[in-house]
């Protein structure tokens, strides 16, 4: 975690990147930093207007007219040093693991009737029912929001049902479709093209309040 690199995104944003790639441990660390940055008054007073996490990077955006990027950089580096030194563990190991005690859990009802459920099962050398049970078993971490507004990228899925994206993406995936791509799972918030393996469907309106660092639990209906 101490190999983080810092680059500029234009003249009004900074990007910290960790070298570890997609992993639950890295995402939890990035999300812990994300929460710290979001809650820091000094960063907001210096002109920070948004913090955007991804799997292994974190961007801080400031007001291009009012923000002081040098002050934001200095304060952010102080907070990162505190996090790296274990300062976030003062309130317990949950914070150090990136799992905040106040994490909001969103429960999404799913009908498991997706057109790719059999494909996922064949790759896993399992029956569709087993795929459903494995998908239901996890409490997922929202690593980031992207691709479309409110599209949650969820990690923590059972690796036995990991399945590559479709070779030919669909031109129109219905809103609310629950999909698998590699070791990720997620939900399409609107009708859009997409290449994820569709295993079920839920209500896309339930995605609106979901934020990075939240948790998602799927429930079969």
- Tell me what the mean pLDDT of segment 99-112 comes to: 85
pLDDT in tens, 51-98: 999 999 999 999 988 888 999 999 999 999 887 665 444 433 333 344
Band (20; pLDDT cuts 50, 70, 90): confident
pTM (whole model) above 0.95: no
The predicted model gives 8-22 an average pLDDT of 91
What values do phi and psi take at 103, rounded to 5? Answer: -55, 130
pLDDT for residue 179 is more than 50: yes
| Best CATH choice for the domain 5-96 from the list 3.40.50.10470, 1.10.510.10, 2.30.30.30, 3.30.1360.40 | 3.30.1360.40
CA distance 16 to 116: 36
Beta strands 197-201 and 177-181, pairing class:
antiparallel
Tokens of 201: 């469907």
pLDDT recorded at residue 87: 41
CATH 3.30.1360.40 in the chain is located at 5-96
Residue pLDDT, tens place only, 119-165: 999 999 999 999 999 999 999 999 999 999 999 999 999 999 999 99
| Architecture label for domain 105-220 | Beta Barrel (2.40)
In the DSSP assignment, the letter for residue 82 is: H
Instruction: For residue 141, list its beta bridge partners.
Output: 155, 215
Token pair in block for residue 192 = 């859009």
| Dihedral (Cα; 16, 20, 24, 26), 10-degree rounding | -30
Banded pLDDT at 21 (limits 50, 70, 90): confident
Name 85's Cβ contacts closer than 8 Å, sequence gap at least 6.
none
Is it the case that residue 40 has pLDDT exceeding 80? yes
């Amino acid at each position: 975690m101490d190999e983080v690199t810092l680059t500029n995104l234009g003249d009004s944003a900074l990007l910290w990147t960790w070298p570890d790639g997609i992993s639950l441990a890295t995402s939890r660390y990035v999300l812990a930093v994300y929460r710290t940055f979001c809650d820091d008054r000094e960063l907001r007073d210096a002109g920070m207007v948004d913090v955007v996490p991804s799997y292994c990077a974190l961007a801080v955006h400031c007001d291009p007219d009012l923000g002081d990027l040098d002050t934001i950089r200095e304060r952010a580096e102080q907070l990162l040093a505190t996090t790296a030194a274990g300062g976030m563990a003062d309130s317990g190991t949950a914070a150090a693991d990136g799992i905040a005690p106040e994490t909001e859990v969103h429960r999404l009802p799913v009908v498991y009737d997706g057109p790719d459920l059999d494909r996922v099962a064949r790759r896993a050398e399992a029956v569709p029912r087993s795929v459903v049970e494995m998908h239901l078993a996890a409490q997922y971490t929202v690593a980031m929001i992207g691709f479309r507004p409110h599209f949650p990228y969820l990690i923590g899925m059972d690796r036995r049902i990991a399945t590559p994206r479709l070779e030919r993406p669909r031109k129109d995936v219905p809103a609310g479709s629950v999909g698998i791509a590699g070791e990720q799972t997620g939900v399409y918030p609107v009708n859009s093209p997409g290449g994820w393996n569709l295993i079920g469907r839920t209500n896309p309106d339930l995605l609106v309040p979901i934020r990075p660092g939240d948790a998602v639990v799927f429930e079969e209906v």
